Amino acid sequence: MRLSAIHMLAASAAPVRAFVASAAPSVARFAGGSSGIFSGARQGLRGAVLASKARPVSRTMRMANSQRLGDPIGQMMDKTDVFIFDCDGVIWKGDSLIEGVPSVLDRLRQAGKRIFFVTNNSTKSRKGYKSKFDSLGLSVEPEEIFSSSFAAAAYLEQTRFKDTGKKVYIVGEVGIEEELDLIGVPHFGGPSDGSKGVELKPGFALPHDENVGAVVVGFDRMINYYKIQYAQLCINENPGCEFIATNTDAVTHLTDAQEWAGNGAMVGAIKGCTGVEPTIVGKPGPLMIDYIIQKYNVERSRICMVGDRLDTDVLFGANNGLMSILTLSGVTTEEKLLSPENKINPDYYVNSINDFFPFYT
């Protein structure tokens, strides 16, 4: 309901609050009063109300210079060949599709844009995500989906882990298992260790496999002390054993009714007992974007990252030389975005990705 209200707002004659360039005191201000990409140029709505939202552009003078007079949506579309969408909070919330999304994706494809979905959720494989997209009535190819479970496997491929003959210990769920199966890397742990405990009689040592060369830590609803200890033993006692985190999101949307502790908890547990910093293969690390650029031969500066989190999605864009759009349809409020404490600024922000096509609805 909330989303359709916002959607109406965007489609109504009232000035829309959307696509506002971000605050950064030391950079150039817009010459004009309006910085909204939806500043109503087509309908002549630009002016007084949006002026109150005018903010300096943080990242590109180019944007600041060109945005004043033109059609910001059209300009953004012109500059973008590839849209990379975060999923949770952008496409869906928990198990609920965000209203209007299928139509937005269709129109982007019709406009010749390439689309990828990048999610830090590691509980599903690409194949698992394909089923989720299908069940929500969204038609996507598995190759368009970059989950952090896939990223973990891509990292192991890139680093020729298979050639070492070693195994992976998994703290995480089935998505990681399925992706490792696809690249032929032996693994154990994960769901199978979900109900294991430790015996604490004097003299007991938990045996661990010295041939584990990497511990992959993803979100794990069945996290327990056995897995934590097993991971600790591998990382601390197996020489050269890697600690790979699919992501470190503090919270996640298991359901859309509340925020749920995310993989930041599982990774924090393993960091806390080893003192080792993980290699992060998901956002905001560069791995997935480098993979897309290389595999699909696209130009970095013509990629736009669209997400609902400042510290993963927008940072992921900024770290990787992409354009970025924050959508308020997920975990980040406008208040948080615009607060002086926030140092991570997107190029634009929208209420939801429906705001990409406000004039056609």
Of the candidate spans 86-94, 177-185, 193-201, 272-280, the one that interacts with Mg ion by CB under 5 A turns out to be 86-94
Measured from the CB atom, the residue of 262 and 330 that comes closer to Mg ion is 330
Active site residue 78: no
Among 55, 138, 260, 286, binds its own copies (CB under 8 A): 260
Print the binding letters for residues 27-66 with Mg ion: x by CB under 5 A, - otherwise.
----------------------------------------
What single letter denotes the amino acid at residue 81? D
Separation between Cα atoms, residue 138 and residue 154, nearest integer Å: 25
The count of residues interacting with its own copies (CB under 8 A) is 47
Q: Which two tokens stand for residue 313?
A: 């999605």
Quick check: bond before 284 cis, omega within 30? yes
Residue from 71, 78, 81, 106 carrying the catalytic annotation: 81
86 near Mg ion (CB under 5 A): yes
Among 13, 110, 201, 239, binds its own copies (CB under 8 A): 201
Rg (CA), the chain: 22
Rounded to whole angstroms, the maximal C-alpha distance in the chain is 79
CA angle 97, 38, 133 (to 5 degrees): 15
202 near its own copies (CB under 8 A): yes
Separation between Cα atoms, residue 329 and residue 58, nearest integer Å: 22
308 near Mg ion (CB under 5 A): yes
3 state SS of 245? strand
3 state SS of 116? strand
228 near its own copies (CB under 8 A): yes
Print the binding letters for residues 87-106 with its own copies: x by CB under 8 A, - otherwise.
-------xxx----------
Tell me the Ramachandran region of residue 160: left when phi exceeds 0, alpha when psi lies from -120 to 50, beta otherwise: left
Measured from the CB atom, the residue of 248 and 327 that comes closer to its own copies is 248
14 interface partner picked from Mg ion, its own copies, none, CB below 5 to 8 A per type: none
Phi, psi (5° rounding) for residue 285? -65, 160
Separation between Cα atoms, residue 4 and residue 93, nearest integer Å: 14
Q: Shortest Cβ distance from residue 245 to its own copies (Å)?
A: 10
Residues of this chain that bind Mg ion (CB under 5 A): 86, 88-89, 308, 330
